Structure 1
Amino acid sequence: MPRTGKFPLALRTASALVVGALTLAVTSACAHATAGTSSAAGGGSTGTSSGTAASSLRLGYFANVTHSTAIAEVANGTLAKDLGSTTLSTTIFNAGPAEMTALLSGQLDAAYVGPSSALSAWTKSDKQGLTIVAGAETGGAELVVDSSITSAAQLKGKTIASPQLGNTQDVALRYWLKQQGYTTNEQGGGDVSIQPEANATTLSLFEQGKIQGAWVPEPWASRLVVEGKGHVLVDEKSLWPAGEFATTNLVVNTAYLKAHPQTVAELLDAQIAVNKWITANPAAAQTLISGAIKKLTGSTIKASEIERAWTEESVTNDPLVSSLQTSLDHAVADGLLKSTSLTGIFDLTLLNQELTKAGETTVSTS
């Protein structure tokens, strides 16, 4: 059972700007291409009968409430304990595209990331570079705007921020604006200017009135509401059937998954245990996660902000397979990706295997 308390692991942070400047290593992509699994879109063939335990696991995630699973399993030592002799190292990112650059260039073995960023990286690697092995979070993304803006009709000529071009919230923002009849482009032009910014910078710019809104994940949406005095124009949950959509998934470098299924299973074991604990102990989980975010970023989340953010998202092991097609359709409509088959992007074999061992309900593969 996970424990709240001190932080036994040295959490290593890195600038997303530096990582974002990395180029994809061609040799790494080729290695991935020869080591991919043969999984179908909703299933897979990975097992623990072959491969070896990895000497290390390099994990990427964000210091966001929508990455509560990763934050908790690292902060309270659950993941390090489950990995045993495998050495854990972590890197913090602001948004998914930079994180996926690190994964595809061989600097990460696994990452918690939004579906749109995972899709983009998967297609850029000729569908060989990564595999989605689990979900992690659903919900927790909103368009927060200046108090003077009360309708979509008032957004023309305004500047709205997103975490990074092509990340999950950026794709959602562009698609929603398109549905409202607005044009946008990747250079920040069009009827509404979309300005990619680090989340902390977004809050500062919003408070200064230099941007009029932002489509961001938690806790940044709550911080824009509480500290920035903004209000929610769009809660992304309202745009999805039953309000369910994948915000964060767990992806693994495909070559690493093929070589070290035991280690990936241990990562999944830690996630399953931590998600169960988070769900059963929301107050303790909020304290742990807000404390960890402060340690990682140096920025304090107010109690009212973490409480509000907590109501907007929830942890899950389910990657909500069917929602990924919608995410792809939105990215295609935005002009950021081309339409393609999603066969092979999921391998939930290990997840359902470990869920069964833990006495938990398995997830759908379709």
Structure 2
Amino acid sequence: MVLSRLAWFVLCSLLLWNHPEPAFSQPEKLERMTVSYAGVNSGRGPLWIAKELHLFEKHGLDARLVQITAGTTSINALIAGDVDLAITTSSAVVAAVLRDAPLSIIATSGSPAYKLLAHPSITSAAQLKGKVVGSSQVGSGADFAIRKLLPKLGLTPGKDVTILPTGLSESYKRALLMFQGRIDATLGTIENVLHLELAGQKVNVLADLKEMGVYVSGTDMSTSRQFLKNHPNKIRAFLRAYIEGIWIGLHHRVTSDAVYRKYLKIENPKLLEAMHRTTFVAGNVPLKPYPVLESIQSDIDYLTAANPGLKTKKSTDVVDTTLLKEIENEGFFAQLRK
């Protein structure tokens, strides 16, 4: 049965604000699983949809979601067994695996379409010489991306440009620091540009990382090899619920709008439309969430070049998509279209 736009709006309103019992029949016993996620941004849409529409329960999972913003902290929690699956920057996972941590990337939740944003007084990359570029934290995806980008613009990190870890994982909040005089530039998205414009602030876009050939570390899903071996059914259940969340977000914008209103406190229709377009329609979060091997290999190459003592590996040594392939081969994606 295909629900009308109004019906979806009513359903989402009920689920998001009243938290009723799921309307579908769920397994008598739910398997518990603790999942950490990093930044709070539009890319978390499918995760929030899965939570609010009880998709985890539908697939037999009691998923406990916890936010851990720092990639290294979430990886340490994963290694310690405090969380079962971590949704965090692939660069943090790669760094751990290169030091022989028994982890695997099993899927992706996409990567931001980063641009280099600058204060309106700065109109070219050359003018960044002697300036401060804000990242989130040392070793984060944004930090890696900045360090990869600057040399392509003729700038040497630490010499021509100071990279300042701001401690802010949300790119919009980092962008606001430009108007407080704390930084001169940072990485952000077109959504951030629109958000700033709606707030009466203008920024200059100095570079597009994709056009510059800079692979941005994705926000990937990782788990320990032991958990992957001992609890494959939990991983399958999580992936099915998450993929269904992507599908619903793509085809029912009222649902994505509802979760963005709740979790991001966004009400502006233009900004909500932009978030839905970039996250779901443009495929920043792909329906088939296979990790981008080129991005992971880029992280490996960067880290091993900067740290000669690390073991060289291939992206295929870090990634294990066995369960994701099983889900695709069993026809799960085709079932979503019915």
Q: Same fold (TM over 0.5)?
A: yes
The more displaced of 167-176 and 222-231 is: 222-231
What's 1:57 paired with? 33
- Segments of 5+ residues of structure 1 without an aligned counterpart are 11-52, 362-366
Q: 2:271 aligns with which of 286, 300, 305?
A: 305
Cα pair distance change 1:69/1:332, threshold 3 Å: farther
Which structure has the larger Rg over C-alpha atoms?
Answer: 2
* Greater per-residue helix proportion: 2
Preserved contact between residue 162 and residue 216 of structure 1 (Cα < 8 Å): no
Q: 1:72 aligns with which of 37, 41, 49?
A: 49
Q: What amino acid maps onto 1:273 in structure 2?
A: E
> Offset at 1:269?
0.8
- Measured in 2, the distance between the counterparts of 1:219 and 1:357 equals 36
Equivalence map 1:59-208=2 (5 Å): 59-61=35-37, 62-82=39-59, 84=60, 86-124=61-99, 126-128=100-102, 130-185=103-158, 190-197=159-166, 198=168, 199=170, 201-208=173-180
Cα distance, 1:309–1:272 mapped onto 2, change above 3 Å: closer
Shift of 1:326: 1.9
Map 1:10-29 to 2 at 5 A: none
Q: 1:161 to 1:263 in 2, by over 3 A?
A: same
1: CA distance, partners of 2:325 / 2:140? 28
The structure-2 alpha-carbon separation of the partners of 1:319 and 1:332, relative to structure 1 and needing over 3 Å to count, comes to same
In angstroms, what is the RMSD of aligned CA positions? 3.1
Structure 1 residues 348, 208: CA separation in 2 closer, same or farther (over 3 Å shift)? Answer: same
Q: 1:4 aligns with which of 1, 12, 15?
A: 12
Report what 1:250 is aligned to: 221
What are the equivalent positions in structure 2 for 1:232-247 lying under 5 Å apart? 232-240=205-213, 247=218
Are 1:328 and 2:297 an aligned pair?
A: no
**C-alpha distance in 2 between matches for 1:9 and 1:116:** 38
- Relative distance call for 1:284 and 1:300 in structure 2 (3 A) is closer
Question: Taking CA–CA contacts closer than 8 Å with sequence separation of 6 or more, which of the two structures ends up with the larger relative contact order?
Answer: 1
Secondary structure at the counterpart of residue 234 of structure 1: strand
Closer, same or farther: CA 156–119 of 1 in aligned 2, 3 Å: same
Identity level (%) = 24
Q: What amino acid does structure 2 have at the position aligned with 1:91?
A: V
C-alpha distance in structure 2 between counterparts of 1:245 and 1:170, whole Å: 10
The one-letter code of the counterpart of 1:288 is: A
- For these two proteins, the number of residue pairs brought into alignment is 304
TM-score by length of structure 2 reads: 0.78
* CA–CA separation in structure 2 for the residues paired with 1:154 and 1:8: 48
- What runs of 5+ residues in structure 2 fail to find an aligned partner? 3-7, 20-28
* 2:290 is equivalent to residue 280 of structure 1: no
- 1:3-47 CA deviation, whole Å, 9 max, x = no partner? 73434899xxxxxxxxxxxxxxxxxxxxxxxxxxxxxxxxxxxxx
Structure 1 residue 89 displacement after superposition = 1.2
